[in-house]
Amino acid sequence: MKIIPVVPRGYCQGVVRAIRIARETAEQYKGMPVCMLGMIVHNKYVVRECESLGIRFVEDSHKTRLELLDMIDEGVVIFTAHGVSDAVREKAQKKGLIAIDATCPDVLKTHDLIKEHCRKGDVIYIGKKGHPEADGALGLSDRVWLVTNESDVAALPDTLEHILITNQTTLGILDTEKTLQACLKRWPDALPAPEICAATRIRQTAVMNLKDTDVLIVVGDPHSNNTNQLKQIGLSSGIKRVYMAETCMDLKEEMIKDADTVAVTAGSSTPTILTSQVISFLESYAQTGEFNPPQIPDHVF
Ligand code: SF4
């Protein structure tokens, strides 16, 4: 059995930066309440590690970032890599909170583009309903229109003008292109501004370029959008067996037993140590045939 660690995989620069900011903030404001507005990234091991630093996570999937702020009355609030609207920043300031911004620079770039364009026209934003990054973008202006698929495009009003089409940074390349084309079919003069970030794009392209792969293991949290996209891209590329595993404890021998080639990739929020452990374990299984997954480590960074 051949094990192929897909390159690149795992942490992107935006996640590395957010984790560094969280650690530095916990250290700098020791003794004060430090809250994270939402999940720092969609990975429970990263969240647990941050909690061990004294950071409290304020999260409710039914509430927006603006509503979540009502649950924080004092101390420090950290905005996650997914970004927030200006209304969230203003509300935090009015509440007297110390705001620390861990928004990824790639997300900020998309926000700047949207804000600039909304002065003169409408923005169609391709994104996932309820995802914090999409919520942040929608909160920038009432001229931002969220679409997730081709049928959402058909449902948009006829009144849109001077249209810019952009998107959430962590979407799948193939699905986004389909929705973009549906927009352009309806509004041929609209201006496309593709904003899938480089980290997402090159990780998905690396999976699309895999050849003769029997099994693809995607290491990451099932709630992570970019991790799910890697799974979808693997299936769309013709790999018959694609599995998600948060850690090597989720692997089962029947997933890989009769495979000649097993590739491993990881979402950009997956701790490197967990992915490395999966790769080492599979390499050991390929050599010895013994299926004994190791215990996961106590700390992931
Ligand atoms: S996936 Fe892209 S946009 Fe999201 S944090 Fe990473 S680099 Fe930034």
Q: Average pLDDT over the chain, rounded to whole?
A: 96
Please say if the pLDDT value at position 225 is more than 90.
Answer: no
Asked if residue 40 lies in contact with residue 18, where contact means CB atoms within 8 angstroms, the answer is yes
What residue owns the CA closest to ligand 1's atom 6? Answer: 14
Cβ 76 under 6 angstroms from ligand 1: no
Q: Which of 225, 114, 216 is nearest to 175 (CA)?
A: 225
CB neighbours of residue 239 within 10 Å:
20
Choose between 224 and 152: higher pLDDT. Answer: 152
Please report the pLDDT score of residue 165 as a whole number: 98
Asked if residue 183 lies in contact with residue 165, where contact means CB atoms within 8 angstroms, the answer is yes
Cβ 282 under 6 angstroms from ligand 1: no
Cis peptide before 294 (omega within 30 of 0): no
Centre of ligand 1 from the C-alpha of residue 270, in Å: 12
What residue owns the CA closest to ligand 1's atom 8? Answer: 14
Phi, psi for residue 37 in degrees, rounded to 5: -85, 90
Q: Which amino acid is at 259?
A: A
pLDDT (average), residues 98-115 = 97
State yes or no: is 74 an active-site residue. Answer: no
pTM of this structure? 0.93
Asked if residue 236 lies in contact with residue 262, where contact means CB atoms within 8 angstroms, the answer is no
pLDDT in tens, 68-99: 999 999 999 999 999 999 999 999 999 999 99
For tokens 């203003």, name the residue: 90
Rounded to 5°, angle at Cα 163 from 202 and 103: 45
Cβ 251 under 6 angstroms from ligand 1: no
> From the candidates 51, 67, 116, 133, which is the catalytic residue?
133
Asked if residue 39 lies in contact with residue 296, where contact means CB atoms within 8 angstroms, the answer is no
Please say if the pLDDT value at position 301 is more than 90.
Answer: no
Calculate what percentage of the chain has a pLDDT beyond 90.
97
Q: What's the first-to-final CA gap in the chain, in angstroms?
A: 31
Centre of ligand 1 from the C-alpha of residue 13, in Å: 7
Helical (H) or strand (E) element with 53: none
Catalogue all structural domains in the chain, each as residue range(s) with its CATH number. Answer: 2-11+199-288 (3.40.1010.20), 13-104 (3.40.50.11270), 106-196 (3.40.1010.20)
Please report the pLDDT score of residue 4 as a whole number: 98
Centre of ligand 1 from the C-alpha of residue 15, in Å: 7
- Residues comprising the chain, all counted: 301
For residue 187, name the pLDDT band (cuts at 50, 70, 90). very high
Cis peptide before 8 (omega within 30 of 0): yes
Rounded to 5°, angle at Cα 227 from 141 and 201: 70
Interatomic CA distance for residues 129 and 131, integer angstroms:
6
Cβ 280 under 6 angstroms from ligand 1: no
